[in-house]
Structure 1
Amino acid sequence: MKLYHLKNSLSVITLLVTVLLLSSCTDNFEELNLHPTDPTAEDITESESLGSLFPTMIAAMHPAQENQSQMIHQMIGNQYGGYMVPTNSWQGTNFGTFNPAKDWVDWPFNKIMVGFNSNFIKVKEVTQSNGYIYSWANILRVATMLRVTDMYGPIPYSKIGEGGITTPYDNVQDVYHNMIADLDNSIRSLTNYLAGTPQASPLAEYDVIYNGDFHKWLKFANSLKLRMAVRIALVDTEYAKQVMQEAINAGAIDANADNAYIPTQDNPYYKASHSWGDLAVNAVLSSYMNGFEDPRRSAYMTEVTYGNTPFRGVRMGTENMNKGYYSNAMIFSKPAFTSNSPLLVFCAAETAFLKSEAALRGWIPGGEEKAKQHYEEGIRLSMEQHHVELGTYLSSTSLPENYRDPINSKEVAVDKAINVSWDDAGTSENTKLEKIITQKWLANYPLGFEAWCDHRRTGYPQMFPALDNLSSSSFMGSVVNTPSRMVRRLPFPQSQYQGNSDAVQEAIKMLGGDDVASTDLWWATKNK
């Protein structure tokens, strides 16, 4: 018996064929469409018809498409998350100087929200919102839309597919609750499916992450629940504590063998840094890792030959960036990816650090003893993930290195810097929390959006402020430029103001502040 439902009508067969033809125009589909000939309604299997939609939905979680990666992950997530810095001046407009071009804030919404949901709605229609295929699609949807709501705040979610271009927005708390409910439904559905279906999924060929192993997708879903619950626990504590415990009991990703990666033969970070000269490592990352003598440095960034430091990043927010200078690999480190490096989506180390924070704050049992255990386990898992020796790293009391830009000799240092050793943390809960978030940040490279979320939520890790703050001349509004508080969100897209204006006005009311970059999201309001 089929565990997903198809409408037995000519219109649905037509829809399925259309889906395949439309999907052939999506990013990288030529590589991923495995049908050997031009398909017709007679030779397309049901699994192929739906399965062909999944590669692009999977890719949306960490896009390999070069323009999407540059405009969204490199310019926004990895810059505000402290991992990378674009080295192109972009005619004087840049997210790093807080004055991007006005249409740039449309990119994440239009490319992620619209691009993903066009396929998701097709899956929803064909499956009638039932069965294991729909459940898998919903897990991918949560992982993808989480990034969108964490950028903008309120987004259309619960009514997607019902209102055309005039879809109402949900407030952030409702988005999170609805996403977690969707994950719960998917977990139940996939658990039931696996109980009666021991053989491999018929969609395995479309699953580039886990090859159709839904046991691992269940772990991924529980990992997302844990990530989301920790994010909102300061403002929705009792609900979040329940969700955390459910996720931990059910089993999140806790071994590197289950890490989620998207394979690529054209890594966008490699292309942007090595081929285009548009990307370098962030100075704050090199300063922490140099100071800690972190064994992962060579796995994260290229070595430089100029000066007295082995690795050197670029300071964020330099007005009129000199690309020829800041893209020079002898002076500044580039991300150490190759053309075929896979793209990280979730790693076991993050699970350990989420548990560490939860234990420290009393959200799960165990207190500081468990917090230390999970903290050190997260570091060990990250070293194992990157195939480097741990050595004496856990007992290190070295501090982050001061950063000096060779071109202008401007120096900056981490204020009240912390080290690695848990035993050297003293009695301050804030110091212990800073250690957890800083090591989580190092382990999650290059998941810049997660790093940006943690920075907005906790103020950690301490960042180097943008060298030049040009926000006062930008539609972004005035941005506070300090080590613990910078850009808080992106303004809503102009395309939404033009095509969904009533809904956007309601969304602004949900924000509780103006539609500018300095307005806190619901879960970040504790960080003042």
Structure 2
Amino acid sequence: MRQIIFALFIVTIFGSCTKDFVSTNQNPNQISDALLKQDFNLVGSPISGMLFNLNGHQIEEDLCQDSWMGFMSTGTDFVGNVNNTTYYIRWNAYWGREYGSVMSPAKQVIQLAEANNLPLFATWAKFIKILSMSKLTAVHGPVIYSEYGSTAPTIHYDKESDLYNLFFKQLDSIQTAFAANTTYKGFTKFDPSYHGSIPEWMKLVNSIRLRLAMRLSKVDPVLAKTQGEKALSDPAGLITANSDNFTNSLLGNIMPVAQICYQWDDTRMSAVMESFLGGLKDPRVSSYFAPVSDAALYVDHPAFPYKGIRNGAYINTKADHIPFSKVNSNFNDPPNGGTTTTRRDFTAAEVAFLKAEAGLRGWAGAGDPKTNYENGVRLSFADWGAGGVDAYLADNTSKPLDYVDPVDHRNNFTSRSTVTVAWNDADNNELKLEKIITQKWINNFTNTLESWVDFRRTGYPKIPHVAKNDSSPDWGVIPADQWIKRMPYPNNERVSNAAGVADAVSKMGAGAKDDIATRLWWDTGNPSNF
């Protein structure tokens, strides 16, 4: 019965319509004293929900990029074990969440703010739209943005290169509006992230610019450098301390990774996390996962009492992998002993790793790669409450483990990565970048979309292939030596906006298809990063 209910849920969420769109213009103005005295509930009350929905929930995250990037894995054989985790698409809900729960209320906030002469609330909503669409385009490629609100029979998608140029242009105007109102307090009661601090939002604007610039570092290195250096030099600064981290309130909800692990009992630690965290002797593991009680599960590494499931695993029965490592119980909801009330969206550690890569690429203002790399690790350890960072950073011998599945040896793998932690100035830039991205990936637990971006862009970290590859012409064939590249557009878009989808696919280049094997614009396929 539970499988039937789940299947019906899949049918319900598989598609979404994006016809209800609006296009608005930026109009930043200085906030007057009179406006400061107004009650802003009309425009402020939707903000916390918009921020909460920037990320996917258990279906969009844990059975998609959490799995594809080796953070979590399922031991449940959903739909005969032929599903997203084995590269056959069954769940495709993120599009609907972003348009229905972020873009639609943002449209309303912007309209109301402009009608009531509250331009800074419109600015805030426009920035949240960029936060949303910069994530969605990393999943699908071209998305509907500049034609949002069109009532035409065909709604066109923005070409990725045009989209990023538009993001950067709008970030300029957003930062200008914020800079003119740094002492404004109107956001305070609506802002679960920064409690109304405009200077903190300005740091996030610069950090987002740096993140998006780095995405383009291979496909358009000139634009990437220009925008990256602009972020690095802006006087408002970046997110550089954990106190500046961009976190979002869960609004009383359970963390998605805990919901699917504890309430659904359908996911466990990934074997890839076991390989890297165990092999590198990473103390953050206890902040992420719970140890197992059966020592027979980890006889291959007796000092590391954790066990994960290979991604895209061969599964005989769900019960086989139930004893494997769950996520840390702190991620559970408070009635069940959890303590997590917020989730990370952009951390100081990520900024430090971005600066480390920017230094390798010669971007002005980035600083020394080694200093930024080690600072990123230190910030990550502090953020996750882990100790022993000095010994960890000095370790130049520990390497990722090979994996043994005590239940089904078809899931065993030899680690593709031999990366170590300690920085070595004598290493070439590729190895230095591998270290940076590997540590960035480890830090990004519960914020895994950016790691999927980095992996497609750089090839790091060196994770194994799925054990069971069910890709097919239905959704696109992923060769045995490759990984999933993108998500197709949802079925409702394919039906209700078929000409728009066809136009979007044409914008992805010659030979592109609306499938999981087509690369996004910034995913050049070039194995060399320099």
- The alignment's TM-score, normalised by the length of structure 2, stands at 0.84
One of 306, 323, 329 as aligned partner of 1:311: 306
For residue 503 of structure 1, what is the aligned residue in structure 2? 500
One of 43, 47, 53 as aligned partner of 1:60: 53
SS of aligned partner of 2:468 = coil
CA distance in 2, matches of 1:166, 1:127: 29
The percent identity for this pair of structures is 30
Residues 1:416 and 1:320: Cα distance change in structure 2 (over 3 Å)? closer
The unaligned stretches of length 5 or more in structure 1 are 1-44, 64-68
The CA deviation at 1:162 is: 3.0
Question: Is the Cα contact below 8 Å between 2:216 and 2:522 reproduced in 1?
Answer: yes
Question: Is the Cα contact below 8 Å between 1:280 and 1:335 reproduced in 2?
Answer: no
Query: Aligned letter for 1:310?
Result: P
For residue 79 of structure 2, what is the aligned residue in structure 1? 91
CA distance in 1, matches of 2:417, 2:63: 28
Residues 1:115 and 1:233: Cα distance change in structure 2 (over 3 Å)? same
The CA deviation at 1:320 is: 4.3
The CA deviation at 1:256 is: 0.3
The unaligned stretches of length 5 or more in structure 2 are 1-37, 334-338
Which aligned pairs between 1:9-158 and structure 2 lie closer than 5 A?
A: 46-62=39-55, 69-92=57-80, 93-101=82-90, 104-105=91-92, 107-128=93-114, 131-158=119-146
SS of aligned partner of 2:86 = coil
For residue 269 of structure 1, what is the aligned residue in structure 2? 257
CA distance in 2, matches of 1:481, 1:220: 39
For residue 403 of structure 2, what is the aligned residue in structure 1? 403
Question: Is the Cα contact below 8 Å between 2:242 and 2:383 reproduced in 1?
Answer: yes
- The alignment's TM-score, normalised by the length of structure 1, stands at 0.84
The CA deviation at 1:520 is: 0.7
Question: Is the Cα contact below 8 Å between 1:97 and 1:319 reproduced in 2?
Answer: no
For residue 334 of structure 1, what is the aligned residue in structure 2? 327
The CA deviation at 1:335 is: 4.8
CA distance in 1, matches of 2:49, 2:186: 18
Check if 1:218 corresponds to 2:217.
no
Residues 1:335 and 1:76: Cα distance change in structure 2 (over 3 Å)? farther
Question: Is the Cα contact below 8 Å between 1:269 and 1:335 reproduced in 2?
Answer: no
The CA deviation at 1:128 is: 3.1
For residue 245 of structure 1, what is the aligned residue in structure 2? 229
One of 222, 232, 240 as aligned partner of 1:254: 240
SS of aligned partner of 1:470 = coil
Query: Aligned letter for 1:338?
Result: N
One of 486, 494, 516 as aligned partner of 1:489: 486
For residue 168 of structure 1, what is the aligned residue in structure 2? 156
CA distance in 1, matches of 2:153, 2:192: 31
Which aligned pairs between 1:438-449 and structure 2 lie closer than 5 A?
A: 438-449=438-449
CA distance in 2, matches of 1:471, 1:240: 33
Query: Aligned letter for 2:386?
Result: V
Query: Aligned letter for 2:44?
Result: G
For residue 419 of structure 2, what is the aligned residue in structure 1? 418
Q: Deviations over 1:318-354 (max 9, x none)?
A: 24463222232xx334355232412111100000100
CA distance in 2, matches of 1:173, 1:321: 45
Question: Is the Cα contact below 8 Å between 2:286 and 2:328 reproduced in 1?
Answer: no
For residue 206 of structure 1, what is the aligned residue in structure 2? 190
SS of aligned partner of 1:193 = coil
Question: Is the Cα contact below 8 Å between 1:456 and 1:524 reproduced in 2?
Answer: yes
Which aligned pairs between 1:179-198 and structure 2 lie closer than 5 A?
A: 179-194=167-182, 198=183
Question: Is the Cα contact below 8 Å between 1:349 and 1:440 reproduced in 2?
Answer: yes
For residue 322 of structure 1, what is the aligned residue in structure 2? 317
The CA deviation at 1:365 is: 5.5
- Greater displacement, 275-284 / 448-457: 275-284
CA distance in 1, matches of 2:152, 2:104: 11
CA distance in 2, matches of 1:471, 1:445: 26
Residues 1:186 and 1:166: Cα distance change in structure 2 (over 3 Å)? same
Residues 1:373 and 1:247: Cα distance change in structure 2 (over 3 Å)? same
* Root mean square deviation, CA, Å: 2.0
CA distance in 2, matches of 1:281, 1:476: 27
CA distance in 2, matches of 1:319, 1:470: 11
CA distance in 2, matches of 1:383, 1:48: 38
For residue 475 of structure 1, what is the aligned residue in structure 2? 474
For residue 7 of structure 2, what is the aligned residue in structure 1? none
Which aligned pairs between 1:372-411 and structure 2 lie closer than 5 A?
A: 372-389=370-387, 390-396=389-395, 397-410=397-410, 411=412
CA distance in 2, matches of 1:181, 1:77: 29
| Paired residues, number | 465
Residues 1:321 and 1:458: Cα distance change in structure 2 (over 3 Å)? farther
Residues 1:526 and 1:54: Cα distance change in structure 2 (over 3 Å)? same
CA distance in 1, matches of 2:132, 2:243: 22
Residues 1:225 and 1:321: Cα distance change in structure 2 (over 3 Å)? farther
Which 4+ runs in 1 deviate beyond 4 A? Answer: none
Residues 1:412 and 1:320: Cα distance change in structure 2 (over 3 Å)? closer
Q: Deviations over 1:279-298 (max 9, x none)?
A: 21111112100011101110
Residues 1:511 and 1:321: Cα distance change in structure 2 (over 3 Å)? farther
The CA deviation at 1:240 is: 1.3
Question: Is the Cα contact below 8 Å between 1:113 and 1:148 reproduced in 2?
Answer: no
Question: Is the Cα contact below 8 Å between 1:311 and 1:333 reproduced in 2?
Answer: no
CA distance in 2, matches of 1:226, 1:139: 15
CA distance in 1, matches of 2:321, 2:177: 51
SS of aligned partner of 2:312 = coil
Q: Deviations over 1:225-271 (max 9, x none)?
A: 00000011111111111111111122110100011112333222222
Q: Deviations over 1:114-149 (max 9, x none)?
A: 331110111222233972111111221111111110
Question: Is the Cα contact below 8 Å between 1:476 and 1:490 reproduced in 2?
Answer: no
CA distance in 2, matches of 1:110, 1:496: 10
Q: Deviations over 1:292-311 (max 9, x none)?
A: 11011100111112233411
SS of aligned partner of 1:344 = strand
Q: Deviations over 1:502-522 (max 9, x none)?
A: 111110101111111111111
For residue 283 of structure 2, what is the aligned residue in structure 1? 295
Residues 1:206 and 1:392: Cα distance change in structure 2 (over 3 Å)? same
